[in-house]
């Protein structure tokens, strides 16, 4: 019973914070609300028995990516006064379009059959032991390729960030 | 006790759909390139949440491995994307996407 309430509470917080990301005027506030959204999503991961992913999510997203966002916002010196805004007309049409997308998606998922509960849920698949085994046996090649991807991204970021390219 | 036993999978479907739609709303609603970028992160996270939910409900760890890879790709994407944004700001002195209309028909 308490898990259901916890799910509802976390979902409510996630949706509220996500809305605040979009609607808040100050970009720094948007980043901070996004960090809170990521924490609620990490809570959902814990509820779903994915403890390792919850830890990685907090470290990578809330720890690394959002700090990068915050750094860039502070480097660019963005604040409420310099914030560009769309016209009210465009904002209204954007809201209507997103609402229609929500209606279409919810409507198409409404009739989806739910997975039959087999009562044989394995609570250990989210632990690092099982994930590591699967990562280093079935997914060894993608794992190594992703390291090359990170290297390429690092080189690209440094190259783009350089003052002038001769 | 975990959520798998008491919460139906459809609720997670709905939650992910709503979060994804909020991400789409952010992309359509704002003009600041950084906020649009953050909305894209929000959409990625909605999909990640759904992948974890399906993987837990089916007791299959492959979905969680996929989420792991998506996180690595998202980190790379953010690093390159923010570097591009810095370049754009250096050349145009703003983070407004309406300034970048050279390729517009």
Contact A22 B87 (CB under 8 A): no
Q: Give the list of residues 6+ apart from residue A119 with CB closer than 8 angstroms, or none.
A: none
- Written out in words, the top-level CATH class of the domain with range B3-96 is mainly alpha
The total number of structural domains that make up chain A:
2
- Domain enclosing residue A20, as ranges: 1-80
CB count within 10 Å of CB A92 equals 12
pLDDT (0 to 100) of residue A103? 94
The mean pLDDT value for A2-9 works out to: 90
A30 belongs to a structural domain: yes
Assembly ipTM: 0.91
Contact B29 A94 (CB under 8 A): yes
Residue of higher predicted confidence among A102 and B61: A102
Q: Which residue of chain A is at minimal alpha-carbon distance from B61? A: A125
End position of a domain, from candidates A47, A80, A113: A80
- Same domain? For A1 and A76 the reply is yes
Q: Does A5 have pLDDT greater than 80?
A: yes
CATH (domain of A63):
1.20.120.1200
Residue of higher predicted confidence among B1 and B50: B50
Among B35, B55, B57, B100, which would you mutate to test the A interface (most chain A Cβ atoms within 10 Å of its Cβ)? B35
The mean pLDDT value for A130-157 works out to: 92
CA A166 to chain B, closest CA, distance in angstroms equals 15
A89 belongs to a structural domain: no
**pLDDT tens digits for range B19-72:** 999 999 999 998 888 999 999 999 999 999 999 999 888 888 888 999 999 999
What is the DSSP annotation of B25-49?
A: HHHHH--BHHHHHHHHHHHHHHHHH
End position of a domain, from candidates A80, A103, A134: A80
- In the block, tokens 């698949």 appear at A125
The mean pLDDT value for A37-61 works out to: 92
Nearest to A53 among B38, B52, B57 (CB): B52
């Amino acid at each position: 019973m308490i898990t259901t309430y916890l799910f509802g509470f976390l979902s409510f917080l996630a949706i509220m914070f996500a809305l605040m990301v979009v609607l808040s005027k100050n970009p720094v506030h948007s980043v901070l609300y996004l960090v809170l959204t990521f924490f609620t999503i990490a809570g959902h991961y814990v509820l779903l028995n994915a403890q390792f992913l919850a830890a990685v999510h907090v470290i990578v997203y809330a720890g690394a990516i959002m700090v990068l966002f915050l750094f860039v916002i502070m480097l660019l010196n963005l604040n409420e006064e310099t914030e560009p805004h769309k016209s009210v007309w465009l904002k209204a049409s954007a809201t209507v379009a997103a609402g229609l997308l929500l209606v279409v998606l919810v409507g198409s998922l409404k009739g989806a059959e739910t997975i039959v509960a087999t009562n044989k849920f394995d609570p250990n698949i989210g632990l690092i032991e099982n994930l590591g085994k699967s990562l280093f046996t079935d997914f060894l090649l993608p794992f190594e390729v992703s390291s090359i991807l990170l290297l390429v991204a690092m080189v690209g970021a440094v190259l783009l960030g350089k003052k002038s390219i001769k | 006790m975990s959520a798998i036993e008491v919460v139906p999978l459809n609720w997670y479907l709905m939650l992910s759909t709503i979060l994804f739609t909020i991400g789409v709303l952010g992309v359509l609603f704002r003009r600041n390139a950084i906020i649009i970028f953050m909305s894209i992160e929000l959409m990625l996270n909605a999909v990640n949440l759904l992948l974890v939910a399906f993987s837990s409900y089916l007791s299959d760890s492959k979905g969680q491995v996929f989420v792991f890879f998506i996180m690595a790709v998202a980190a790379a994407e953010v690093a390159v994307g923010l570097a591009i944004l810095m370049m754009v700001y250096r050349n145009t002195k703003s983070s407004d996407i309406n300034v970048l209309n050279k390729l517009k028909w």
